[in-house]
């Protein structure tokens, strides 16, 4: 209803019909109900510590990642399974400024983005709800900022040596993933635990950021919390200096620091409750690293927003 009212108001304005006597009252009524509904929604929804900065386009109702690129003011995103093989650059008002088709890539289940300091973008096609995929891949995309319509992808294929069956038994559903970051020539993937005996554990894997086929190296296990719906890891990013990793959940953020070498399972974990539950899947540091940018999927009239959160 909210979106239909907004569209109706815009249509009247764009067509110039609001000046016609017979439609003037309709226009005023739409403005009134639009204002009233926005007021009710703002009173009904408490976004906790999050500040909404934009409404995501309907094309990105199922957005699944956020990332920034050096030298670009845009916020980059993708949509997950069933959507186009495209990457999108948004401004801070949520407008799509760039829409790039990714050649040599299929969106089986795109779940996260990562970036290298030289601007190379990585697309993680490793969504694996049923733990039965044997075609996991991360796409490497160069020259995103120079592209106008199309970009070419190179495939980094990988597998988890610990997974022996496709699918494994329900108590061993450890091989879905929605979180990834890049550091010093490697990609780090954090799994989303779907096991029947969920205990908050997630595997951390290391993969060379080079095309080819690789056995992912298991660095270790970290634990979030033991309630499955709020303790899934759904996104990740790393600070520019490589010293801080943030992991996203539906209502929590886990910040990891003081880890040894590149193994975040050895680090100190701080938990932050965002005080607002939704299907959040995108997180990245803002370019100046004073804020985290966060997004969620749209569910009815809720979600589908771009938020920011002050870094503590």
- 113 with 252, same domain? yes
Domain that holds residue 85: 48-310
- 119 with 21, same domain? no
Q: Starting from the edge strand earliest in sequence, which strands make up the sheet with 244-248, in order?
A: 235-238, 244-248, 252-257, 268-273
- 7 with 115, same domain? no
- 136 with 12, same domain? no
pLDDT in tens, 219-233: 999 999 999 889 999
- 21 with 83, same domain? no
Q: Quote the mean pLDDT of the chain.
A: 89
Quote the DSSP letter at residue 170: G
pLDDT in tens, 9-64: 333 333 444 344 444 444 345 444 544 444 444 444 689 999 999 999 999 999 99
297 dihedral zone (left: phi>0; alpha: psi -120 to 50; beta): beta
What pLDDT was estimated at residue 229?
Answer: 87
- What is the DSSP annotation of 236-290? EEE-TTS-EEEEE-SSEEEEEES-BTTBGGGSEEEEEE-S--S-EEEEEE-TTSS
Whether the predicted pLDDT of 187 surpasses 70: yes
Angle, to 10 degrees, between the axis of helix 2-15 and the axis of helix 21-44? Answer: 150
- 248 with 215, same domain? yes
Whether the predicted pLDDT of 203 surpasses 50: yes
What pLDDT was estimated at residue 45?
Answer: 65
Cβ-proximal residues to 89 (8 Å cutoff; 6+ apart), any chain: 72, 74, 75, 76, 96, 97, 98, 99, 100
Average pLDDT over residues 193-214: 97
pLDDT in tens, 65-89: 999 999 999 999 999 999 999 999 9
pLDDT in tens, 253-307: 999 999 999 999 999 999 999 999 999 999 999 999 999 999 999 999 899 999 9
- 34 with 158, same domain? no
Q: What is the CATH number of the domain that holds 192?
A: 2.120.10.30
What pLDDT was estimated at residue 152?
Answer: 98
135: tokens are 């075609």
- 13 with 145, same domain? no
Give the largest CA-CA distance in the chain.
72
- 196 with 246, same domain? yes
- 184 with 262, same domain? yes
- 286 with 301, same domain? yes
- 77 with 175, same domain? yes
What pLDDT was estimated at residue 185?
Answer: 98
pLDDT in tens, 118-147: 999 999 999 999 999 999 999 999 999 999
Question: How many domains is the chain built from?
Answer: 2
């Amino acid at each position: 209803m909210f979106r239909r009212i907004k569209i109706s108001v815009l249509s009247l304005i764009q067509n110039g019909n609001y000046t016609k006597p017979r439609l003037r009252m309709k226009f005023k009524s739409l403005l009134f109900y639009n204002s009233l509904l926005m007021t009710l929604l703002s009173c009904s929804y408490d976004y906790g510590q999050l500040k909404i900065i934009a409404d995501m386009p309907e094309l990105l109702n199922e957005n699944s990642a956020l990332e920034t690129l050096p030298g670009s003011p845009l916020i980059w995103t993708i949509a997950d399974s069933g959507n186009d093989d495209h990457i999108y650059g948004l401004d801070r008002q949520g407008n799509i400024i760039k829409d790039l088709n990714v050649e040599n890539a299929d969106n089986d289940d795109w779940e996260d983005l990562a970036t290298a300091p030289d601007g190379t973008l990585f697309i993680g096609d490793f969504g694996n709800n049923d733990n039965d995929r044997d075609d996991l891949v991360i796409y490497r995309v160069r020259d995103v900022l120079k592209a106008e319509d199309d970009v070419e992808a190179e495939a980094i294929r990988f597998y988890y040596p610990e997974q022996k069956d496709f699918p494994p038994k329900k108590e061993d559903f450890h091989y879905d993933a929605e979180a990834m970051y890049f550091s010093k020539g490697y990609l780090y993937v954090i799994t989303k635990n779907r096991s029947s005996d969920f205990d908050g554990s997630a595997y951390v894997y290391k993969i060379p950021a080079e095309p080819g086929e690789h056995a992912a190296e298991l660095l270790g296990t970290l634990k979030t919390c033991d309630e499955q719906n709020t303790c899934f890891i759904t996104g990740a990013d790393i600070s520019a200096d490589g010293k801080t990793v943030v992991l996203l959940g539906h209502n929590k953020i886990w910040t990891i620091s003081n880890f040894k070498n590149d193994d975040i399972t050895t680090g100190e974990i701080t938990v932050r409750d965002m005080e607002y539950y939704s299907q959040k899947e995108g997180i990245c540091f803002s370019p100046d690293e004073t804020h985290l940018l966060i997004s969620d999927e749209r569910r009815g009239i809720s979600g589908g927003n771009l938020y920011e959160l002050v870094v503590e």
